[in-house]
Structure 1
Amino acid sequence: MFWNWIGRSQEEIVQARRDWMEGTRFGEVKGYDGDPLPAPELPAVPLKPRGRVR
């Protein structure tokens, strides 16, 4: 898992990060006076799914 997003692919995680940084899709946190926290940079290597283990 990267940061606090759930994504099934590298592309979904990249899009979620972009949406967060642009202020779209995730809404605002009521009662927080500061600027939104920036998302951390993505690793330089492709993210690898861990698979579902039960």
Structure 2
Amino acid sequence: MIQEVSENLNISVGSYHKGKKVFEFISQLREMEKFKAVVALEMEFNRSIDAAYKFV
């Protein structure tokens, strides 16, 4: 399943897992109402999964 999703997104399985962790962290930040951090991390995530993952 993960392999199929990563192929459809044209990313590696490793990037899929990193992206998932970043997305989960962004969701936690939203729950804590840390919206500046959310925006900053989303911008980094849009630029590069690996770069955003380094912050997590």
Bin for the TM-score computed over the shorter chain: 0.3 to 0.5
More helix by share: 2
Higher relative contact order (CA 8 A, sep 6+): 1
Which structure: larger Rg? 1
TM-score, length-normalised on structure 2?
0.33
TM-score, length-normalised on structure 1?
0.34
